[in-house]
């Protein structure tokens, strides 16, 4: 029996993913002074043990100013490498490939956690949570334009400071390699710093980093070049983009940038949307199953670079159809993986994958579940229906 494409391995440089299921970066806001905690290990471990081929650790900031709120992970210091090494080891030992996203929040910094309102933080609130470097936690951006009416205006980075941020991205990438990650993603989406440079709505510079489309792309390209220089040649590099932001940056521009960075060592474009004026963008219709897949499809077709589809990809047959139709190369399952960390196993069973338990789960789990499946004829897992009376 031929295997579904979702469970066909894919080779990215020297790294082989056992399947096309990816758990994307998802903020947890649970770090302490940028350091990983037990929760991070539990969180990524459950996804890796659940069968995903690639598991990303959440957006990790390349410098202190880049932290969005209290609890952001960091990799701006060598002291933070050990915590990340633990996360990479947990993912790998659980059967998946460990990945890390590196980001910088830019003008969206110093905010409360989303479930606490997401508004601007005040010094007293931050210090009550242990923040002791409020003054160093400066809000910076391409231009002195606030991200919202309630937010404080950022300070515009000088050209020399922009180049220093590029170097810090490279430094963080070097630390990521030392920590043992096999895949790296640069966060260039969702209204954060790289996206702020790309979008004319947030970038009013008149130097080499602003104005023309080529100039606005310069920072992103320089980050890619600097990271690729230190990131091992055998390890894949992803770039996440808001392919459409409804603020002056759209699919055409994203395709052109994908071509530029593809020739400079980016292997996959992670295709998201929104974040500049709000999230998400619904240019292809209302928010529903796979509403962002058209961005991955167009970027892949017109740039020649592999893409990862994201956005309400919930069901196994839906994910398989995206791959079969050539709309993307990888499938990111985020919040659905939170809902069901064993999503990959569930998908493998529903798609009829041979030896589904052994192909997705560690032996300590696959043995018992395969034994139950063989013995308990007519018993369906809880993810298959509403209950025994349904």
What are the catalytic residues? Answer: 192
Answer for the pair 182, 97: CB distance below 8 angstroms, yes or no: yes
- Distance from C-alpha of 109 to C-alpha of 123, rounded to nearest angstrom: 13
Answer for the pair 187, 240: CB distance below 8 angstroms, yes or no: yes
Two tokens at 42?
């539990």
For CA atoms 67, 70, 71, 77, the dihedral sign is: positive
Residue 343: its H or E element: helix 343-350
Instruction: Tell me the CA distances in angstroms from 223 to 164, 201, 243, 266, 334, one per residue in order.
Output: 10, 21, 18, 11, 26
Residue 239: its H or E element: strand 237-244
As a three-state string, the secondary structure of 276-315 is CCCCCCCCCCCCCCCCCHHHHHHHHHHHCCEEEECCCCCC
């Amino acid at each position: 029996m031929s295997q579904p494409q979702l469970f066909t391995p894919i080779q990215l440089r020297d790294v082989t993913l056992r399947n096309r299921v990816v758990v994307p970066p998802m903020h947890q806001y649970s770090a302490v002074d940028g350091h990983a905690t037990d929760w991070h290990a539990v969180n990524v471990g459950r996804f890796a043990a659940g069968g995903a081929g690639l598991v990303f650790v959440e957006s990790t900031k390349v410098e202190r100013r880049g932290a969005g709120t209290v609890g952001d992970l960091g990799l701006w210091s060598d002291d933070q490498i050990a915590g990340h090494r633990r996360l990479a080891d947990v993912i790998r030992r659980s059967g998946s490939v460990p990945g890390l996203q590196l980001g910088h929040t830019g003008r969206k910094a110093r905010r409360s956690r989303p479930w606490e309102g997401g508004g601007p933080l005040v010094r007293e609130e931050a210090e009550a949570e242990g923040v002791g470097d409020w003054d160093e936690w400066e809000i910076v951006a391409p231009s002195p334009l606030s991200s919202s009416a309630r937010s404080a205006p950022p300070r515009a980075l000088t050209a020399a400071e922009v180049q220093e941020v590029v170097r810090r991205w490279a430094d963080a990438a070097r630390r990521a390699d030392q920590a043992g990650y096999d895949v790296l993603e640069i966060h260039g989406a969702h209204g954060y710093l790289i996206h702020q440079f790309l979008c004319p709505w947030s970038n009013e510079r008149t130097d080499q980093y602003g104005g023309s489309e080529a100039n606005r792309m310069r920072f992103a390209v320089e980050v890619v070049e600097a990271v690729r220089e230190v990131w091992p040649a055998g390890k894949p590099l992803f770039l996440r983009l808001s392919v459409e932001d409804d603020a002056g940056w759209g699919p055409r521009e994203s395709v052109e940038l994908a071509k530029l960075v593809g020739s400079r060592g980016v292997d996959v474009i992670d295709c998201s949307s929104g974040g500049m004026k709000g999230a998400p963008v619904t240019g292809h219709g209302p928010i529903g199953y796979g509403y962002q897949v058209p961005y991955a499809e167009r970027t892949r077709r017109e740039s020649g670079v592999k893409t990862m589809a994201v956005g309400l990809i919930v069901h196994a047959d839906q994910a398989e159809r995206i791959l079969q139709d050539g709309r993307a190369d990888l499938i990111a399952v985020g919040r659905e993986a939170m809902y069901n960390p064993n999503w990959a196993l569930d998908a493998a069973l529903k798609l009829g994958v041979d030896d589904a338990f052994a192909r997705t789960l560690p032996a300590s789990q696959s043995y018992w579940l395969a034994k139950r499946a063989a013995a308990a004829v007519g018993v369906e897992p809880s993810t298959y229906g509403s209950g025994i009376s349904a």
